[in-house]
Amino acid sequence: MSNAPEAGFLGRVAAGPISWGVCEVPGWGLQLDPDRVLGEMHDLGLAATESGPEGYLGSDGKTVRRRVDAHHLRLVGGFLPVVLHDRERHATSVARVHETARLFAEAGGEVLCSAVVVDYDWSPRIELSDAQWADVAHGLELLDRAAEEEGVLHVLHPHWGTLVERDADVQRVLEISDVELCLDTGHLTLGGCDPLELARTHAARVRHVHLKDVDEEIAAQLRGGELELVPAVQKGLFRALGAGDVAVGDVVTELEDAGYAGWYVLEQDTAILGAPPEPRSGPFVDVRRSIDFLTGVLATEGGDRRPRSAA
């Protein structure tokens, strides 16, 4: 199993449908048609897409692959919430990983990002006992094995609103398990974990990357309980790369210098309110701005810096 995309800069950059406002959360905003979203990804020169909400690209691997192929893209993989702090619920989570990883593999995908939730209604996070953390660690090992059996890499995605949200949670998982990580510059920042420090100290554990920038003023309102996540996103919590307060360029440089050769997924969580934007406007412009930012980091003119080819 390989987690290495094709060589070359844009060959390593993908996007998530959520950058076009596509999210399953009730009340999030307008949901754009998948063929419009995939078509605009292709027009931007992106190599691949993540799957988006369950069923957004199709309910089976062959359908997903046909849809993605029609726009000359690849499927990277996607996201799956799981319940692991209760050992009695491990079997259900493992079965979900097998099913989802099988679909991803059939569609050409390589990566399954899990997020450890309290329940599938995304109830508010709770403080875990040592025994519950041990169950999480054991569950992550089971998910690693299940995904591998389907030919897909499993990575844990620290995520706002989950049991692995804060810096202390991330450090605990690193200590008690061998799970590999999705480094999401936005969600780590929200939880108080410095993504640059994580890249410096645990680059070998980073196997997948989501790139977001964050408006720190709105993030402080979220952390302080003044805003919930959906209203914060609708207010502009996540920004195009380079337009916020996260050292995204330094994170990418650190990972490249450490030998990271995987995907960079542009995942600027966006909510579209009101009428749909005109084609090649709105989200399209923001994603293009993020691509331009990354080009400046990884592929400057004159050869000062070149993108690292996949191994």
Cα gap 181→263, rounded to integer Å: 13
- pLDDT category at 214 given cuts 50, 70, 90 is very high
Identify the sign of the CA torsion 238, 244, 245, 246.
positive
pLDDT band at residue 9 using 50, 70 and 90 as cut-offs: low
Q: Rounded CA gap, 23 and 2, in Å? A: 28
Given a cut of 60, whether residue 1 has pLDDT beyond it is: no
More confident site: 179 or 1: 179
Residue 166 and residue 193 in contact, taking contact as beta carbons nearer than 8 Å = yes
pLDDT on residue 311: 29
pLDDT in tens, 199-209: 999 999 999 99
Residue 8: the pLDDT is 67
Least confident of 157-171, 181-195, 297-311: 297-311
pLDDT tens for 26-54 read 889 999 999 999 999 999 999 999 999 99
Report the mean per-residue pLDDT for the chain.
Answer: 93
pLDDT digits (tens, 9 = 90+) for 105-160: 999 999 999 999 999 999 999 999 999 999 999 999 999 999 999 999 999 999 99
Q: What would you measure as the largest C-alpha separation in the chain, in angstroms? A: 57
Beta bridge partners of 218: none
At residue 211, φ and ψ (nearest 5 deg) are -110, 120
- Residue 79 CA to residue 180 CA, distance in Å, equals 15
Residue with tokens 């919430």: 81
